[in-house]
Structure 1
Amino acid sequence: NNIKTDYTGTNSLTDTTGTINPTITGAFVNGKWTGMVTINRIGRNVKITTSGAGKTGESNAFDVKAGPPAKLAITPSSFTMAAGVTYSYLNISLRDANNFETTHTSNLIVSLSTTSPDGEFREFGTTNRITGVVIPTGSSFVKVDYYDIRGGTQTLTASATGLTSGTATVTVIPDTTPPVTTMTVGSPKYTSGTTTYVSGSTVFTLSASDDASGVEETKYRVDGGSWSTYTAGLTFSTLLDGSHTIGYYSSDKSGNNEAEKTLTIVMDKTPPAISSASPTGSLIQRSTSVTFTVRVEDSGSGVKEVRLTVDGISQGSMTAGSDYFKTISLSEGSHTWSIEAVDNVDNTATWSGSFTLTVDTAPPTISGLSAPSNPVFGESTTITCQVSDELSGVREVKLYYSTNGGSSWTEVVMNLQGGFYTGSIPSQMPFTSIQYYVKAVDNAGNEHQTAISTITIGIPTWLYIAVVAIIIIVAIALVLIRRKPASQTAYAPPSYPPPPPPR
């Protein structure tokens, strides 16, 4: 009764299922529009709402019912995906004869298939391969994923007993990119410049990734040998020390092979060499401060640390030098000690020894210092003495002499002969005054030095005789010269040349 007959516009159409078609009416005629609409989803108490010219109208509520299941549908019915990348997701739905989604009165088993030999349906949200699904009672659809590595166009089919099968077409873009493999070198390892050192226990891990079809396998080889399939972390404990090359690559499920990569390593399974450890046996010294020294060498990765343990107590790391050393204070008596040398890839060598520490602070005793009573020119001057040290023993005895009043001193090593230490001062000129003293050092480093003594070089007997003989000879010669008579010479007149002839 309130029809606006002059309205000729169009109205929008919506419904509570959101599936009405069309969504806009045609032009109104005499205030009315009559047409067919389709609602593509079943539902209860569905209403249609129309709006236009500032007015809104709503239909009575009604139920949209689907017919009995007649077919299956796969949506989307056509899609494109990349090889090796899961497509998520596909709807496998029940439809009636009018293509409405509908339900089944019991669980419906649906078989799934593909024309691709490498394609597979997967449980939604997982990588579990499936060949069928169940649409539960009261449900109209189920979600699945699809995976394929074969490029090209394939047909997917969903089928169930008594229903028309549903199909979809998929275009798979082929994978032409090979995987990428990385190698991780675990511990222990040591890098010096471009050289990587490893040990027989070092673990090598290969990791491959492929964003498309996925990694099929990873292979490796050593020093150009045969290829092996990688399954888990690798160790190369059977390799000899020295340089080796590890090659590796991966293949994907589309048959793409990565170019071989290589890593050069230096195997070091040999621990450091320990030698020249000191002290051992008996150690007699002036103090309780003991210096431990040891030579440690490693021709591979190099020495990382040398640790000292004394009497079962760790003393920490030793200091590196030409030898490794560390000084600690100990009590007198017996001690045990050990060395643990570690190289840069954790190869370890050990050494152990013992010694007895005796503290000696008493210097040697020098007695019986003797020199010639009348040293003479032309002969060396021999100095002798006796030296004793009851505890650590005599290490060295030296004679020092000076011929210039002590401005400079010359050192002479004294040798032990028949219980006496003997040293000689070379021959000096007559009347030379020689100062001398003796210094003795024991094996603990204690020193004792005598007072400075002085001797003067005299003239030997033979020189006296020679001088006297020379004097006598000179005297006789002078006497003989004085006794010789004077010589007499006859007078002879001078001679002149004859005169020249007359002219």
Structure 2
Amino acid sequence: MTGESAMIPGGGSPSDRTLRAFVLSAILAFVVAGTGSVGALGAQKDRGHVPATTAPLVLPGQTTHSPILILADADFTSSNGVVGGSGTASDPYVIAGWDISASSATGIDIRSTTAHFVVRNVSVHSGASNHLGMFLFEVSNGRIENDTVTDNQGGIWVVSSHSVSVVGNNVSGNRGHGIIANSPDMLVQGNRVVGNEDMGIQLASGWNVTIEDNNVSRNAYGIYSIGSWNDTIRSNRIDSSSTYNVEIDSSTDIVVESNEIGNGTAGIVLFEAKRITMRGNRFTNDSVVWYGSSVDNFATHSISEDNLANGRPIVYYRDCDGRSLDGAPIGELLVANCTHIRASNLSFAEVDGAILMAYVDQASVLSSTVASATLVGIEFLESTNVSVISSAISTNPGADISIRSAQTVRIDANQFTGHMLSASGVQDLLFRGNSASGGGGTFVDVATNVTIEGNALAGYYDGISVQNGRRVVIENNTVMNMDGYGILASTNDTIVRRNRVLNASLDGIVLFNLGNALVSENVVDSARTGIVLDSATSVRVLHNSIRNANTSARDDRGPENSWDDGYPSGGNYWSDYTGVDNCSGPNQDVCGPNPDGIGDTPYAIDGDSRDSYPLMAAPGANTPPHAVFGIGPIVGTLSTVFALSVRPTDAEDSPDVIEVRWDWEGDGVWDTPWTTQKDANHQYEVPGNYTVIVEVRDTGGLTDEASTSIVVDGVAPVTTLYLAGVAGNADWFVSSVTVTLSAVDERSGVGSTYLRMDGGQWLTYAGPFAIDFDGQFLFEFYSTDVAGNAEAIQSRPVRVDREAPIVTAAVAGVHGQNRWFITPVVVTLTATDATSGAGRIEVRTNGGPWLTYAEPVVLADGSYFVEYRAMDIAGNLGATHAIPANVDVDATPPTFTSSGPSGVVTSANVVLRWSAEDNGSGIAGYRVSVDGGPVQPVGNTTQYPATLPDGDHTAVVVAIDQAGNVRSVEIQFRVDTNVFSFSGPYGGAPTVAIVVAVAVAAVLLLLRRR
């Protein structure tokens, strides 16, 4: 006998998927090896999908053509439907305007080509059981556009090709896959892919494939990616798939963005996938589910909160410590590789999965509601120390709670409608105080240290099923109105005690394939068989009440098991026992007026099994009830109304007649009278840690107590913002800044911390983050505690300027020659800074000290190496800049220190002489002009010979320095070479001599006359 199989939210087992990939490979190999027929595709698995009804459609302007087979570039001929083109990128071959029936072969089959081609405005239909619409193999540079492919074995299949586009086609009503993109560098865009019996669009082992703007509806699968990488699925409408709208199987680095996804069995399924990016997708009655075998299948994704499930954000945490969501309006919660997770007072509806956690530690779900989840309500994979408490969960057809490979699990005081619990590979499981109706019951497989107690289950197929484990306790449960079995166990070291199994269509309590078990104090009323031992050994069955069973008991092993507890404890009560009680004693041979309540003859179960001491009445006039607490929330504020509940069970009484009363403070004083109302509300007036005690009482007056702790927190947490970076001036940072928020709450603990920047959207703080861009920002932040107290919003400005200012220099002056300025030079410096603003400018010349620049710098005569730099207000000091070349200034002309001749020159051969100096750029040369004559350059010589006539003369000597400054000197002189001239060479001596001689002669003549 078997229990329910384990549910895998990813859809199917790994072996199923390996088989599917193998079958696909075999199909493609068959196609490639053939001549256009698909062969094995005629044996497609029926997925229960009803395709859209399509009829062959001949579009206006189309002409009937036989199937086309092209096996090389040379086959692009008119006989093969080519109506134009030369096969180049700018002039591709065109196959267009044809109506093709694929009843005899695949409609268009193109292989092993590199020429550019387009298939356009073609209809392919009526494919036989092994004929595709279009098949491209080892093809490049192809484009399939605006074609209609319907009612074939498959639609458009592109295999082992590249650089192929499938655009704007109608691929509908085919019996297999619609479009296969089993090739790299493909574009699948703007197609209508509707009503195909298998996958709408499949990516297989391809990369750099873009699937966008397609309408993919009512296929078995919508878009299916297997073994692919670096693909993009964008802006598609994917809905109403009979299985999954999108499945990403063993693929890596896939981007799924801006799609409309809805009304499938699942929205997006991640199976063994890594590094999947999801953003901007909108789900309607769908969401995300995942499955994998390593942490990388869960904690490497990027799923942003702009993904919306029924209008609410999908929240994804990974690699985190300490996250709390309390009452947040979210569409789905995904958590991977995190610790200390608390989800409380959340509600979900019409999703595939509500809360999915993988590789988490110390995670709890409290007081949350999941309505109508398709695959799983709450799931934990590979996790430790997890709990679900006081929540209401409904799924169809999946599991309300799914646990896989987990340790230390607590499922307490929840309400279920659907498949209550599916757990596998669990150690230390407590399933307590839950109530449920309808669905698949509780299924636990491969588990150790399991306690299932105090639950009330009604209307399931199998109530409680625990298989392939050990050390299991099933007690104080009420299981009623089962369509299958009440309690099944195939675990060693099992205790089934004090349970009530009422109205089971099959067997009440079944133990199979186990050893060492105790079945005691149970009530089984109305079952096909009361208690069944099947391949079970070392089982003790005692003090049970078996009523109204078609067959009270069955045991296929005989004396290896015991059906009573010996004398005088006795065996079990059997309502169909027909013996009498007239005697007593171990051998029931002491007869008289005082019988012992044990039948005088054994109750025969079969030929080698019997109850030697059957009880004449149900054992125990009354047994105490069992109190199991339900509460939510367990932490609150002074305004919280704590909703408490108790789920009592009793072997004799039904829960509705058991009374309860409450002690809110645990002080020994009962605060409420006895009542049969099992739910109660209480609000505390003073903060504190309280112990709540509930006492239950059955109709016989027997009682039991249970207690739980409540934390009432009246003080909001306090959050501190820390900034780490290089501090500059004026509250600026001059480096990237790491922002860290730290909150403390002394009583209930910190729940969540929120922040926003510059009045934007509030975000949940996930950990330190860096501001690595410049600007002025205002951060607002606050925290809530687990109880729900929220602190007042705080704010803090953050100023970041990592860039130094930009400084420029302008040099103004009159340029002379040889890079010299011949006027004083004005150096003007300007600094700009886009963030904090310019602060100060510094300047220095010739390596001297830095001086603060206050006004333009004037450079007089000299040679200058000018350096400058700037600092912004934040304190960023920029690099030192320099004017590219020395600034050489010589604004002073040369100076003449002497010149000549002057006065009278008594020789016609005159030598002009001068001397000059220049302390700036230095003398470059001289020019001479005599008596307004031509200007003669004389180089650097300081004399100029000239032969001049007698008379007055003027010479101009011009000195030019290296900068181009000019100064002139005028030399005036007289040339007198007349020997009789008093200014002549002999100073007038000849003239005097002549005069004297004449005078002497005159005197002598006069004397003679006397």
Fold-level similarity (TM above 0.5): no
TM-score range, shorter chain: 0.3 to 0.5
- Which has the greater radius of gyration? 1
TM-score by length of 1: 0.35
RCO (CA 8 Å, sep 6+): is it higher in 1 or 2? 1
Normalised TM-score (structure 2): 0.19
